[in-house]
Structure formats: structure tokens, C-alpha cells
């Protein structure tokens, strides 16, 4: 094992979470101490918190190019996805019970749709092409006279593939007009923030989900954009906060932090995208060249600039991750560890990969602070690690 390094932990799991930016922590700190008020209170302390809440909402609205009142603050991407899907499905249930999503969505979407299926809703799980892209014509064919909601992610959390949302939106609008009905379009944009344009007018979406900790903001914070006029029933009931769309006292420190982080990430997204893409492209080129039996999963160019997802024939993802971790490199896999065994990635299975290949995935997701020296170290460690693991029969993906 290569062991000559002085660069500390090499963190290449930015799709999992990101470190809190120092400017974000600085913006949040006063709201933990002096400015601790409840924004629903009418006294001065409460109104200071209300002002911070309004200012944060305006920051987010500028990034999304929407009205501030269309921004709903949540506890994260999972809540935003749940609220969007359940909120629209229940609001429009008298006009139809058909929901369209894809087979490669985040589990926050898939499991919510599966729950609604158990309640009598009909769900269509669209296939993707060999690169992991949802084609607009596939959406067109799936829409029926009972369709109320289409939920398709902007960029995939495992393989980084970007869906053509403006084209999909045009198809949804066309079919809605032909059928003289309301069809709402939601997108999970959790992985897109900080790398792609979040202008909801250009995207043509009615709802959009974000998660603060994916772009150097605090954990436990999220956003749900709800376009004005969109049928939507609240997911959480109580005091009627967030214009009665999400009850509960607002997390002012977290909301302030999220808004500052989103504004900064959006302002620097082209710069950070170029930085990450240069490192990512070098990783892809070298891994495919130096590791026999390696494969890049997903579209070669229509993907997030920081994402590289590989499969390695004959070896599971878990021992690769553990080996990298022992070498001081933090990465992840699309596979899920369940009951002591590694289950194949549902995304890779949807791409037509075998269960064996889908068990052997490695996701490397870069951030603004990753360096060329860290990439050098990864490329020193990974080929040797895969070669050594393949020589250990107990760690291969062979099944009886």
C-alpha cells in the first residue's frame, strides 16, 4: 500500500455531505446567541429574527429566480421531496391518482412513491437509457388522463447524470394542454446546487428540492420551491408557519446559514465546476487506463463536473471503500449495506448492469478544496488496492 503522504484526510465524498463554510458559520453564530428570538413573536427580539428570516428567503429567491413567498424552508432534501410528492398528490387526488417518476431517483422520492402506491395511487417508474438519462419522449408516452405529478431529479446522486429538465418540462406542458388538465413537475435538485443553474423559470419546474449540507451549508436545513398557484397541501401541520405550508418554529440559524451558503455556491459555481472537472477528468482517464476491468458509470459528459462513478469487475465496493479509508481517502459507493451484505446499486441495475457489477461501484465526488496532489495520491493508492483485493477470493463478487 502506498503510504507516503503528508496531506491529511483526502475527502472525496462531497455528494454525501460538505464541510460547513467558515463564512456560513460566521453568519449563523449570532442567531445562536444574541439574536435568538422566535420570528412569530411581535416583540423586538422576535422581529429581529423575522427580519433575518425574510432576508434569507430573499437570498434564496434570487438564486432560484422566483418570488420570496414561493420559498419554503424545510429540514432537508428528504423532507422537501416527501412534502412535494405527498403535498401535490393529495391536493390533486380528485382529478387523478397517477404519478410518474424514474427508476433511478433518490430513495426519498422512490420510497415516498412506494408509500403512495400502498395508499392506492398508481406510479410509473420510467426507465433510463444506457447512460442513465430520462429521455423526454419516455415522459411523453407515460402521461395519461389521470397523471397529476411528474417527479424527476435534476442530477443523479450516484452517477451525476444530468436530466434535460427544460425539454421534459416542455413535454409535460404540452401533454397537460392536450389533456386539458393540471400536471405538476417536481425536481430533486439536491446534487445540482453549486454546479448547475437553479433558475426555476429556465428549468420550467413547479417544485424544486434543495438540501443545505450539500453546498457547504448546515445539516438539517432544506428548501422547497413551490410555484405560485401550484396545488399543494401541507405535509406538517401546526402553527401555520411558512405561509401555512410547513408548520413549526423556523430554524433561524440554519436558514440563515443555508441562504448564505447557497448564495456563495451559486456565485462561484462556474469557477468551482471548472476546478472539479479538471480533477475529475484526470481521475477518469487514469483509472480507466490503469485499472483493468474498470468502467465509468453514467454519461461521459452529461454529468456533474465533480462526479466520477466506477465499477470494478470481480470486486465489491465495500472492501474498496474500507481500503481507501485505511489509506486516508474518504469515498462512497452507490450500493447499500443491508443485513451485513452489500446490495447492488438500484441506479446501476436500472442502467442494465449485472448485480455483480452493481455491487462493485465506487463514487468519487470532488469539492472546491480538493487538490491535484490529492488526486495524485488517489491514483497512487486505487490501482494497487483493486489489484490486491482481486487476489482475495473472499472479497470478490462471485456468488454460489
DSSP codes, 68-137: GGGEEEES-HHHHHHHHHHHHHHHTTTT--EEEEETTS-HHHHHHHHHHHHTT-EEEEE---TTSPPPHH
What is the spatial distance between Cα 77 and Cα 83, in angstroms, rounded to a whole number? 10
Q: Are 364 and 331 within 8 A, CB to CB?
A: yes
Q: Are 168 and 134 within 8 A, CB to CB?
A: yes
Q: Is 66 considered catalytic here?
A: no
94: left (phi over 0), alpha (psi -120 to 50) or beta: alpha
DSSP codes, 234-273: -SS-SS-HHHHTS-S---HHHHHHHHHHHHHHHHTHHHHH
What is the spatial distance between Cα 7 and Cα 30, in angstroms, rounded to a whole number? 33
> What is the Rg, in whole angstroms, of the alpha carbon atoms belonging to the chain?
22
Residues in the chain: 400
What is the spatial distance between Cα 388 and Cα 378, in angstroms, rounded to a whole number? 15
For residue 227, the Cα-to-chain-centroid distance in whole angstroms is 20
Q: Are 303 and 160 within 8 A, CB to CB?
A: yes
What is the spatial distance between Cα 81 and Cα 110, in angstroms, rounded to a whole number? 10
Q: Dig out the grid coordinates for 175 from the structure.
A: 401533454
| Residue 373, number of CB atoms within 10 A of its CB | 12
Q: Are 52 and 252 within 8 A, CB to CB?
A: yes
Choose the catalytic residue: 66, 113, 276, 337: 337
CA atoms within 13 A on the CB side of 158: 30
Residue-wise burial string across 210-243, b where 16 or more C-beta atoms lie within 10 A, e elsewhere: bbbbbbbbbbbbbbbbbbeebbbebbbeeeebbe
Catalytic sites, residue numbers: 337
Amino acid at each position: 500500500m502506498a503510504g507516503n503522504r503528508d496531506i491529511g484526510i483526502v475527502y472525496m465524498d462531497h455528494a454525501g455531505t460538505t464541510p460547513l463554510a467558515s463564512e456560513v458559520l460566521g453568519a449563523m453564530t449570532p442567531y445562536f446567541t444574541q439574536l435568538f428570538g422566535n420570528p412569530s413573536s411581535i416583540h423586538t427580539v422576535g422581529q429581529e429574527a423575522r427580519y433575518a428570516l425574510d432576508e434569507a428567503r430573499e437570498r434564496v429567491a434570487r438564486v432560484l429566480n422566483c418570488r420570496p413567498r414561493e420559498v419554503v424552508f424545510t429540514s432537508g432534501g428528504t423532507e422537501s421531496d416527501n412534502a412535494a410528492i405527498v403535498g401535490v398528490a393529495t391536493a390533486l387526488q380528485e382529478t387523478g391518482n397517477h404519478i410518474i417518476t424514474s427508476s433511478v431517483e433518490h430513495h426519498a422520492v422512490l420510497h415516498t412513491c412506494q408509500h403512495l402506491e400502498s395508499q392506492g395511487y398508481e406510479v410509473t417508474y420510467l426507465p433510463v437509457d444506457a447512460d442513465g438519462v430520462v429521455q423526454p419522449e419516455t415522459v411523453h408516452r407515460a402521461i395519461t388522463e389521470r397523471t397529476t405529478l411528474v417527479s424527476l431529479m435534476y442530477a443523479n446522486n450516484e452517477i451525476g447524470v444530468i436530466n434535460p429538465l427544460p425539454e421534459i418540462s416542455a413535454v409535460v406542458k404540452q401533454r397537460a394542454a392536450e389533456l386539458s388538465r393540471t400536471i405538476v413537475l417536481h425536481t430533486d435538485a439536491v446534487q445540482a446546487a453549486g454546479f448547475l443553474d437553479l433558475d426555476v423559470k429556465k428549468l420550467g419546474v413547479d417544485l424544486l428540492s434543495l438540501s443545505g449540507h450539500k453546498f457547504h451549508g448546515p445539516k438539517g436545513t432544506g428548501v422547497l420551491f413551490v410555484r405560485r398557484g401550484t396545488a399543494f397541501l401541507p405535509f406538517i401541520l401546526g402553527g401555520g408557519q411558512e405561509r401555512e405550508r410547513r408548520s413549526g418554529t423556523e430554524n433561524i440559524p440554519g436558514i440563515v446559514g443555508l441562504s448564505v451558503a447557497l448564495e456563495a455556491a451559486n456565485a462561484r459555481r462556474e469557477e468551482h465546476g471548472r476546478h472539479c472537472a479538471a480533477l475529475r477528468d484526470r481521475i477518469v482517464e487514469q483509472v480507466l487506463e490503469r485499472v483493468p476491468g474498470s468502467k465509468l458509470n453514467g454519461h461521459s459528459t452529461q454529468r456533474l463536473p465533480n462526479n466520477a462513478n466506477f465499477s470494478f469487475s470481480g470486486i465489491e465496493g465495500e472492501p474498496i471503500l474500507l481500503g481507501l479509508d485505511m489509506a486516508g481517502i474518504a469515498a462512497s459507493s452507490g450500493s447499500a449495506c443491508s443485513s451485513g451484505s452489500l446490495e447492488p446499486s438500484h441506479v446501476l441495475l436500472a442502467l442494465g448492469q449485472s448485480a455483480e457489477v452493481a455491487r462493485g461501484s465506487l463514487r468519487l465526488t470532488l469539492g472546491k478544496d480538493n487538490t491535484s496532489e490529492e488526486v495524485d495520491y488517489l491514483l497512487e493508492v486505487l490501482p494497487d488496492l483493486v489489484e490486491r483485493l482481486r487476489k482475495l477470493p473472499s472479497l470478490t463478487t462471485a456468488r454460489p
